[in-house]
Amino acid sequence: MTDNRLLDFEEMEVWQNAQDLAVDVYEDFSNCRDFTFIDQIKRAAVSVSNNIAEGAERSTKADFARFLDIGKGSSGEVRSMYRLAERLKFVNADTSTRRCGQCKSISRQLGGFAKHLRRK
């Protein structure tokens, strides 16, 4: 970013939260044998923090905001998959509710951050 340099992505709370979510996904599904399902949810979870990082390294705020939107979409995908995982009995209702709460929080953070970038 040319003006008012933003923090390195590692310093951003939303990136840290997204990394925590990815670790939680890996832990929650460590014993799951539906490899197609776990591959998809792991990819979506990792995509959240990776899109934040990729956007932060772009040269314009508009590009950064676009990658935050993509990360927000991945967070929604993780949330949807937790609801399905609960229905399939891969995780219990408490775990699903907790992870969906994390996803909602990350989505709010990403949406607000993208909106901020677009205003400048």
Across 71-101, b (16+ Cβ under 10 Å) vs e yields: bbebbbbbbebbeebbeeebbeeebbeebbe
**What are the pLDDT digits (tens) for 46-75?**
999 999 999 999 999 999 999 999 999 999
Number of H helices, E strands in the chain: 4, 0
Q: Is the pLDDT of residue 44 over 50?
A: yes
Mean pLDDT for the chain?
Answer: 94
Q: How many CB atoms within 10 Å of residue 1?
A: 14
Specify the pLDDT at position 7: 73
**Domain boundary assignment for the chain:** 9-119
State the CATH class of domain 9-119: mainly alpha
- The structure's pTM equals 0.92
* Mean pLDDT score, 23-48: 98
**Structural contact between residues 55 and 65, judged by C-beta atoms closer than 8 angstroms:** yes
